[in-house]
């Protein structure tokens, strides 16, 4: 099980939101570079960085991402507001190992295909996020964007080989994963699957392992100490 710490950046700070609501913010690090270095020191091998401002269309945190790249030895992926091939190339140019896309897969699948063809499946990862199985886009602010399972199958047919699924209803709540929903995503997606949204304890991660899910993005549970990442990173 690959446990991937999340560093979400809003207003230049490392924060956690509840259910993707920008107004329900907890600041964990004033400087996101500090958060990234902390997780690297703890033993993580990959970081999940989200530019919340870019996702919501109100500026970006590219300068912070560039600083993270300069400070880290480990790899990191970046999501949030990446909706064209040119933007994907720009973020990769900052030092990211791969980019995470969401809205573009739903609204402009031809552009997602263009990204995949130009950059390859190792550098572009679709994130199909939803309230349960109802997809959400535009920084999770817009729902009814299709069926998560249909989008997963579309991504497979297009040639993507890693998929992220986040349950928006539970993200940042510490309520635990909805393993029944994730099991259905697992059935629909035959390649590497990374899940998140509500991890509350090691039991959630063990549940993902039983489902054959390869990775988990964990935010609040790591920041609050509900999950000790070192157990997973050293194992």
Burial 135-158 (b: 16+ CB within 10 A, else e): bbbbbbeeeebbebbebbebbbee
Residue whose pair of structure tokens reads 């390649």 in the numeric block: 191
**Residue 171 annotated among the catalytic residues of the structure:** no
**Residue 129 annotated among the catalytic residues of the structure:** yes
pLDDT digits (tens, 9 = 90+) for 220-229: 999 999 999 9
Q: C-alpha 164: how far from its chain's center?
A: 6
Domains in the chain: boundaries: 2-233
Q: Summarize the chain as % helix, strand, coil (round to 5).
A: 40, 30, 35
Catalytic residue (one of 51, 129, 167, 171)? 129
Catalytic residue (one of 8, 171, 178, 204)? 8
pLDDT of the residue at 171: 87
**In angstroms, rounded to a whole number, what is the distance separating the alpha carbons of residues 166 and 47?**
16
Q: Could you tell me what percent of the chain has a pLDDT over 70?
A: 96
pLDDT of the residue at 172: 87
Q: Which of 66, 58, 38, 47 is nearest to 8 (CA)?
A: 47
Residue 29 scores a pLDDT above 60: yes
Q: What is the mean pLDDT of residues 170-186?
A: 95
pLDDT digits (tens, 9 = 90+) for 121-161: 999 999 998 888 998 875 445 445 589 999 999 999 999 99
2-233 folds as TIM Barrel (3.20.20)
**Confidence band (pLDDT; 50, 70, 90) for 21?**
confident
Q: Is the pTM of this model over 0.85?
A: yes
pLDDT digits (tens, 9 = 90+) for 47-58: 999 999 999 899
Lowest mean pLDDT, pick from 13-17, 30-34, 214-218: 13-17
């Amino acid at each position: 099980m690959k446990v991937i710490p999340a560093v979400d950046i809003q207003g230049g700070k490392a924060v956690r939101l509840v259910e993707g609501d920008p107004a329900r913010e907890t600041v964990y690090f004033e400087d996101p570079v500090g958060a990234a270095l902390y997780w690297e020191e703890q033993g993580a091998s990959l970081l999940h960085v989200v530019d919340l401002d870019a996702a919501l269309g109100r500026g970006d945190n590219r300068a912070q991402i560039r600083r993270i790249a300069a400070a880290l030895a480990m790899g990191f992926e970046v999501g949030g507001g990446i909706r064209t091939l040119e933007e994907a190339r720009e973020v990769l140019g900052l030092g990211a190992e791969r980019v995470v896309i969401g809205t573009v897969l739903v609204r402009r699948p031809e552009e997602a295909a263009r990204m995949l063809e130009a950059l390859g499946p190792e550098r572009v990862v679709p994130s199909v996020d939803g309230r349960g199985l109802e997809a959400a886009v535009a920084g999770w602010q817009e729902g009814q964007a299709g069926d998560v399972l249909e989008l997963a199958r579309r991504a497979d047919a297009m040639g993507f080989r890693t998929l992220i699924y986040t349950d928006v209803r539970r993200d940042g709540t510490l309520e635990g994963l909805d393993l029944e929903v994730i099991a259905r995503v697992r059935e629909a997606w035959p390649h590497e699957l990374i899940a998140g949204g509500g991890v509350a304890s090691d039991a959630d991660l063990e549940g993902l392992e039983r489902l054959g899910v390869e990775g988990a993005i964990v935010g609040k549970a790591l920041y609050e100490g509900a999950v000790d990442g070192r157990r997973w990173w050293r194992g």
